[in-house]
Copies of this chain bind each other. A is one copy, B any other.
Amino acid sequence: VSPSKCGDYRILLPTQQLANAKTIVVQAPDGLKHVAPCVAHLVHEHAPKARVYIHGDSSFGACDLQYPQLQATLDPDVIIHLGHTPYPKELAHPRLEPAERPRIVYARALSTRRPPRAAVARAAEMLASHGARRVVLLSTGQHTHLLPWLALALSRRGLRVRVPPPSPPYFELGQVIGCDYRLAAPADAYVIVSGGLFHALGLYLARRRPVVKIDPYRGEAIDATPEGEKTLRVRLYKVAQAMDARRWGLIVGLKTGQYRPWLVDRLARALEAAGREYRLLAYETLTVDSLRNIDSPWFEAFVVTSCPRLPIDDFAGYEKPVLTPGEAVMALRGELEPYRFPW
């Protein structure tokens, strides 16, 4: 692994895995797309004979490798997937990764941004305001290297801090992803290091305990708890709205890591058992526009088995309830608690 700098990121590139490759694709999530040309340049230095492509399509996670279409066209030897660790195999169909070609090479991108001490002090104050003593410290993949330092800084302020050790399927300590918070062990409150509110909101929905976010990009601490509570209220309203829906759209994901046939079958059986009708819709990229294009008065509610963040983050304003699998089970059982996130 050769560490190199691209913008504000240290890139850990497993260069020995590029040997003899003729065609290499560099893939990055939208937030890291701006460093992809620099990474392509590094790749070119280590594999000067290879043809290197920068993949421009959105890639929302290691669930979203898009290798079938790359295989059918460029037929690369290697896809360098930047900024994500391998997706948990138990959340995906066996075809999550290709059997042979292309080889998927996960390259970490570690942010060199470090939150100021003032943000840590502010986070400790917020935790105190919630009466929290025992806290669990978590992070997205770009910042896990900050966790030991932050754990010390927070414990010096009287908190009992735990950083969950790397635990299969996660290779990094304290790591969470948007749809999986299993490393968030029980605690009075949680601290998460991440940009944006996306992961903090998921953490709140998964645990319904106070969540304080430390943002290394903006250098500040944010109490995400009020926004989490608000989001939870919206979700419960959607569940209640869907309880009487008779005709459902059951949405199947076409991204290899978001195709979950066992979940589709379980929901299909639950819908049938509850006397509901359903139609199967298949989407690689589900958007408000693309759902509206298929929608008709026939449909009264939808459940999304691909990315469970879509109902929460993109479809809260949709004119009909669009639910996660866990929420659909709640609606079919007529229950508003416990809130099930996300499956």
| Chain A contact residues, CB within 8 Å of chain B | 25, 30, 33-34, 36-37, 40, 51-58, 66-74, 93, 95, 251-256, 259, 279-286, 290-291, 293-294, 296, 298
Q: Which of B40, B95, B283 contacts A57 (CB 8 A)?
A: B283
Q: Is the CB of A253 within 8 A of B296?
A: no
Please name all residues of chain B whose beta carbon is closer than 8 Å to the beta carbon of A290 when the two chains form the complex. Answer: 56-58
Q: Interface residues of A: mostly helix, strand, loop or mixed?
A: mixed
Specify the chain B residue showing the minimal Cβ separation from A71: B68
With a cutoff of 8 Å between Cβ atoms, the chain B residues found around residue A282 in the complex are 25, 53-57, 70, 73-74
How far, in whole Å, are A294 and B279 apart by their CA atoms in the complex?
A: 38
Q: Could you jot down 30 A-B contacts, CB within 8 Å?
A: A30-B293, A33-B294, A34-B294, A36-B294, A40-B279, A51-B280, A53-B252, A53-B282, A54-B279, A54-B281, A54-B282, A54-B294, A56-B251, A56-B281, A56-B282, A56-B291, A56-B294, A68-B69, A68-B72, A69-B69, A69-B256, A70-B254, A70-B282, A72-B95, A72-B259, A73-B253, A73-B259, A74-B252, A74-B254, A74-B259
- Which of A40, A53, A70 gathers most chain B CB within 10 Å? A53
B56 and A283 contact, CB distance less than 8 A: yes
A57 and B294: CB pair below 8 A?
Answer: no
The 10 A-B pairs at the shortest CB distance, nearest first, are namely: A68-B68, A73-B259, A68-B72, A33-B293, A56-B283, A53-B282, A53-B280, A68-B69, A69-B254, A73-B254
With a CB–CB cut-off of 8 A, which chain B residues contact A252? 53, 73-74
